[in-house]
Amino acid sequence: MTLNTTKAANIARDASDDALQSAQSAVETTRGYANEALDKAGEKVRDLRGSVDPLVEQITAKVQQLASRGIEYATDAKSRAQQQINRYGDATGRYVAEQPVKSVLIAAATGAAIAAAILIATRSSNTNRNRY
């Protein structure tokens, strides 16, 4: 090789070494920025999770309170309904004991009215079916 060729080769090698070193430096810098960005994102996620967890606990506590209240209201309503049914049963029992003949006649009339309503309903239903 001639001196000029060797000199040109050395210059080219130095330039490529400098370019390689610059590229490696850029990669390391980029890697550092990426790691920083990931760390910040992780911190944000942890912060958000920390603020969401108490909110979820508050909502859960409210839902449990509402469910408990609903159960209490249902229990109270059941108790009131049971008391009302017992009062009606007692009143009916007293009426039947005081007026046995009248009670039997009322029961018979009620049964007849229900039977007539059923007969009318089934006949009109059969009539409607036969039309089609």
For 27-52, the DSSP string reads: HHHHHHHHHHHHHHHHHHHHHHHHHH
Check whether 4 has a pLDDT greater than 80: no
Model confidence at 131, in pLDDT bands (50, 70, 90)? low
Q: What is the pLDDT of residues 71-120, one digit of tens each?
A: 999 999 999 999 999 998 889 888 888 999 999 999 999 999 999 999 99
**Does 105 lie in the same domain as 86?**
no
CA distances to 117, 124, 132 from 127, rounded to whole Å, are 15, 5, 9
**Does 108 lie in the same domain as 94?**
no
| Residue 120 belongs to domain spanning | 99-132
Q: How many domains does the chain have?
A: 2
Helix axis angle for 100-131 and 3-98, nearest 10°, is: 130
Report the alpha-carbon distance of residue 28 to residue 20 in Å, rounded. 12
**Does 90 lie in the same domain as 110?**
no
**Does 41 lie in the same domain as 16?**
yes
**Does 10 lie in the same domain as 74?**
yes
Provide the pLDDT for residue 117.
94
Report the alpha-carbon distance of residue 36 to residue 43 in Å, rounded. 11
Global pTM? 0.42
**Does 127 lie in the same domain as 68?**
no
Q: Which residues contact 103 (CB under 8 A, 6 or more apart)?
A: 95, 96
